[in-house]
Structure 1
C-alpha cells in the first residue's frame, strides 16, 4: 500500500524543481527554436507563394505576348499574301497588255504586208494582162 509520508513530499518538490529546471534549460529554448523555425518556414512559404504568383503572372504575360505575336504574324502573312496577289495581278495585267500590244503590232504588220503584197500583185496583174494582150494580138 502507499504510505503518505515526508518522502512523498520531497519527491513532489524534487519533481517540480526538475520540471522547472527542464523548462528553463530545455523546453523554452526548444519552443523558441520551433517558433523561429515556424516563422522562417512561414516566410519561406510566403516567398514561395509570391514566386509562384509572379511565375503565373509571367506565364500569363508570356502567353498573351505569344498570342499577340501569332496574331501579328497572321496579319503580316495576310498583308504579304495580299501584296503578292496585288503584285501578281499587276504583273499579269502588264503581261496581258504587252501580249495585246505584240498581237496588235503583229496584226498591223501582217495587214501592211498583205496590203503591200496585194498592191504588188495588182501591179503585176496589170503588167501580165498587158503582156498577155500583146501576145494575143501578135499571134
Structure 2
C-alpha cells in the first residue's frame, strides 16, 4: 500500500532536483552537440551541393567547348577539303591546257616537217622525172 507522507514529497523534490540537474548537466550539452552536428551536416551538405553544381557546370562548359571545338574542326576539315578540291581542279585544268599546248606545238612542228619533206620530195620528184624523161628521150631537157 502507498503511504502519503513527507518522504513522498522529499522523493518528488529529489526527483525534480535530479531532473533539473540532469537537464543542466547532461541533456542540454547533448542537445547542443546534436544541434551543432546538425548545423555542421547542413553546412557540409550545402557546400557539397554547391561543389556538385560547380562540377556539373564545369562539365557542361567543358562539353560545350568540346562540341564547339569539334564543330570548328569539322568546318576546318571541310574548308581544307574544298580548298584541296579547288586546287586539284585548277591543277588538272592547267595540266590540260599545258598538254593541249604541247600537243598543238607538236602538231605544228609535224606540219612544218611534213611541209618541208613535201617540198623536198617534190624537188626530188621533179629531178627524178627529168632524169627519167632524159633517159627515155635520150637527150637533155
TM over 0.5: yes
Cα distance between partner residues in 1 of 2:118 and 2:51: 97
- Unpaired stretches in structure 2, ≥5 consecutive residues: none
- Deviation sequence 1:91-123 (CA, Å, 0-9, x none): 111110111011001101111111111111111
Matched residue, 1:87: 87
Matched residue, 2:78: 78
Matched residue, 1:103: 103
- Report the alpha carbon displacement of residue 61 of structure 1 after superposing the two structures with TM: 0.9
2:136 equivalent to 1:129: no
Matched residue, 1:5: 5
Normalising by structure 2, report the TM-score.
Answer: 0.94
SS at match of 1:90: helix
- Report the alpha carbon displacement of residue 16 of structure 1 after superposing the two structures with TM: 1.1
SS at match of 1:89: helix
Matched residue, 1:17: 17
Cα distance between partner residues in 2 of 1:93 and 1:62: 46
Cα distance between partner residues in 2 of 1:9 and 1:135: 179
- Unpaired stretches in structure 1, ≥5 consecutive residues: none
Matched residue, 1:112: 112
- Report the alpha carbon displacement of residue 8 of structure 1 after superposing the two structures with TM: 1.9
- Deviation sequence 1:8-28 (CA, Å, 0-9, x none): 222211111111111111111
Normalising by structure 1, report the TM-score.
Answer: 0.95
- Report the alpha carbon displacement of residue 6 of structure 1 after superposing the two structures with TM: 2.1
Cα distance between partner residues in 2 of 1:4 and 1:133: 181
Cα distance between partner residues in 1 of 2:135 and 2:86: 71
Cα distance between partner residues in 1 of 2:8 and 2:133: 176
